[in-house]
């Protein structure tokens, strides 16, 4: 071909997924889906492209700047979605009659943000959200927590902590400190507690939110609450009892911890942290963050909360709800670091090697017979030296190789090579599938 060659390259901040990591991702998605479904959440999908006006201004100035936005062939101002929450709000407003409430959906899809790429941060990544819309009931908040818990457990994690709080508790405290008008600024400062420490947060609160040192101390005293969740709530109750919202927050948290105890969830897996606020202004009730005990530094791997009105920008119908988002790529990176992802890239257990070109139809036929028995297997496509084929099998991580040349065909037999144990068995044609099933078992 005389066409000049084009350099094969991906865009900055974008990446290809090779089979190994992709298998791990598919496994993670399967687990998430199966847990979501076990709670009655149904899947939806929305377009990657939306009218820009749908997306603009929903995630703050920073998010507007990060939009991949352009004018399409029909002169429309369009942009690629930067999260799955804004599309859900648009979707719920648009299809309310069809979907009805309560509406429980999950949405596992790609989003795009033109962020400055850095280690572990990409411009294209997957989100894995679930939400229950159309109810203010605390049972939905409790089940949201259960979903997060079951998800982590099913993914193979045993040592993780789900930190919960309730915005109403924070609002109640701010009310009693006469700070309700600076809620957003104060909570944004408070959210930095883990990162920059108490003293600097106190300074920032005074600077940004214009509070007094005493008021800042009043808010930060939340961090002094120690003990079990029930002790913390007992401690906070008298300080907040003048606030109706505060009392409601405490009651909802009490019920949540009762439900956890009743569900047999270990105490240390769900803890009350009265200082977490999650910066996003739209949270109004329960808040969730999930940390891996072994890798706290990577931040929360599953976060969410309750909001009063999902779609107020799109419809006059109030749509309260609660949900969370699994940080799929962050979790995948963590699972790789903790060796919780499978090795190898093979999706099949058995490689049928190709030894004798005259018998190609026999190799194809035995592979079909094995598949009919539920054994996934790949046929090597060419008659190459056996060593080369076994090297391929090793690299892809097949468990077994099935081998037959003139001798075996003459005697209606097969060799099974166990690539993990190094053993080799000779079996009759009839015994091939049963023997393989035995070994794989």
Q: How far apart are CA 135 and CA 23, in angstroms?
A: 36
Per-residue DSSP letter, 422: -
| Torsion sign (Cα): 129, 111, 290, 306 | negative
| Closest CB 204 distance from a copy of itself, rounded Å | 28
Q: How far apart are CA 282 and CA 321, in angstroms?
A: 11
| Closest CB 168 distance from a copy of itself, rounded Å | 18
Instruction: Please report whether residue 430 would count as binding a copy of itself according to CB under 8 A.
Output: no
What HEC string does 109-171 produce?
EEEECCCCCECCECCEEEEEEEEEECCCCHHHHHHHHHHHHHHHHHCCCCCEEEEEEEHHHHH
When binding is defined by CB under 8 A, the residue of 85, 90, 179, 236 that contacts a copy of itself is: 90
Task: Tell me which residues in 161-180 interact with a copy of itself (CB under 8 A).
Answer: none
When binding is defined by CB under 8 A, the residue of 139, 317, 412, 424 that contacts a copy of itself is: 139
Of the candidate spans 94-102, 192-200, 206-214, 225-233, the one that interacts with a copy of itself by CB under 8 A turns out to be 94-102
For a copy of itself, what does the binding mask look like between residues 38 and 77, x meaning CB under 8 A?
xxxxxxxxxxxxxx-xx----------x--x-xxxxx-x-
| Closest CB 71 distance from a copy of itself, rounded Å | 8
Instruction: Please report whether residue 99 would count as binding a copy of itself according to CB under 8 A.
Output: yes
Considering the complex, state which of residue 160 and residue 380 has its C-beta at the smaller distance from a copy of itself: 380
Task: Tell me which residues in 214-273 interact with a copy of itself (CB under 8 A).
Answer: 255, 258-259, 262-263
Instruction: Please report whether residue 142 would count as binding a copy of itself according to CB under 8 A.
Output: yes
- Using DSSP's 3-state secondary structure scheme, residue 282 falls into coil
| Closest CB 394 distance from a copy of itself, rounded Å | 12
Cβ–Cβ < 8 Å for 222, 274? yes
Q: What are the C-alpha distances in Å from 106 to residues 52, 110, 158, 399?
A: 23, 13, 24, 35
When binding is defined by CB under 8 A, the residue of 121, 200, 207, 368 that contacts a copy of itself is: 368
Per-residue DSSP letter, 415: E
Task: Tell me which residues in 336-355 interact with a copy of itself (CB under 8 A).
Answer: 345-348, 351, 354
Instruction: Please report whether residue 23 would count as binding a copy of itself according to CB under 8 A.
Output: yes
Of the candidate spans 4-12, 168-176, 419-427, 429-437, the one that interacts with a copy of itself by CB under 8 A turns out to be 4-12
When binding is defined by CB under 8 A, the residue of 28, 32, 36, 164 that contacts a copy of itself is: 36
Cβ–Cβ < 8 Å for 359, 183? no
Strands (E), 176-282: 270-272
Q: What are the C-alpha distances in Å from 419 to residues 227, 422, 425?
A: 53, 5, 12
Instruction: Please report whether residue 307 would count as binding a copy of itself according to CB under 8 A.
Output: no
Tokens at residue 441, please?
A: 């078992």
∠ Cα 238 241 245 (to 5°) = 140
Give the residue carrying structure tokens 């989100």. Answer: 127
Task: Tell me which residues in 194-213 interact with a copy of itself (CB under 8 A).
Answer: none
| Closest CB 360 distance from a copy of itself, rounded Å | 5
Tokens at residue 82, please?
A: 């930067």
Of the candidate spans 207-215, 242-250, 275-283, 367-375, the one that interacts with a copy of itself by CB under 8 A turns out to be 367-375
């Amino acid at each position: 071909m005389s066409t000049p060659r084009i350099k094969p390259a991906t865009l900055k901040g974008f990446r290809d997924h090779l089979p190994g990591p992709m298998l791990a991702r598919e496994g993670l998605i399967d687990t998430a889906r199966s847990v979501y479904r076990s709670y009655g959440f149904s899947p939806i999908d929305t377009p990657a492209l939306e009218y820009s006006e749908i997306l603009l201004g929903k995630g703050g100035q920073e998010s507007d700047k990060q939009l991949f936005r352009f004018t399409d062939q029909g002169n429309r101002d369009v942009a690629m979605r930067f999260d799955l929450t804004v599309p859900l709000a648009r979707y719920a407003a648009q299809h309310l009659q069809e979907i009805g409430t309560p509406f429980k959906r999950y949405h596992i899809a790609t989003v795009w943000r033109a962020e400055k790429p850095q280690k572990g941060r990409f411009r294209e990544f997957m989100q894995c959200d679930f939400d229950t819309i159309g109810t203010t009931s605390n049972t939905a908040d409790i089940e949201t927590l259960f979903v997060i818990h079951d998800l982590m457990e099913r993914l193979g994690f045993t040592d993780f902590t789900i930190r919960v709080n309730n915005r109403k508790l924070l609002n109640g405290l701010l009310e009693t400190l006469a700070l309700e008008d600076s809620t957003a600024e104060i909570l944004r400062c408070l959210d930095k507690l883990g990162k920059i420490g108490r003293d600097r947060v106190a300074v920032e609160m005074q600077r940004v939110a214009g509070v007094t040192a005493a008021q800042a101390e009043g808010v930060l005293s939340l961090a002094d609450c120690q003990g079990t969740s029930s002790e913390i709530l007992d401690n906070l109750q008298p300080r907040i009892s003048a606030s109706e919202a505060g009392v409601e927050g405490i009651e909802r948290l009490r019920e949540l911890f009762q439900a956890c105890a009743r569900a047999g969830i270990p105490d240390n897996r769900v803890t009350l942290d009265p200082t977490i606020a999650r910066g996003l202004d739209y949270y109004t009730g329960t808040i969730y963050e999930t940390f891996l005990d072994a890798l706290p530094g990577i931040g929360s791997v599953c976060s969410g909360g309750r909001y009063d009105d999902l779609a107020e920008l799109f419809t006059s119908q109030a749509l309260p709800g609660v949900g969370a988002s699994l940080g799929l790529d962050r979790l995948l990176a963590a699972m790789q670091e903790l060796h919780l992802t499978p090795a190898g890239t093979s999706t099949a257990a058995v490689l049928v090697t190709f030894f004798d070109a005259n018998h190609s139809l026999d190799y194809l036929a035995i592979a079909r017979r094995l598949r009919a028995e539920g054994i996934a297997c790949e046929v090597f496509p060419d008659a190459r030296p056996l060593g080369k084929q076994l090297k391929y099998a090793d690299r892809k991580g097949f468990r077994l190789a099935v081998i037959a040349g003139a001798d075996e065909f003459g005697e209606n037999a097969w060799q099974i090579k166990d690539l993990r144990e190094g053993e080799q068995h000779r079996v009759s044609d009839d015994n091939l599938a049963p023997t393989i099933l035995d070994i794989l078992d």
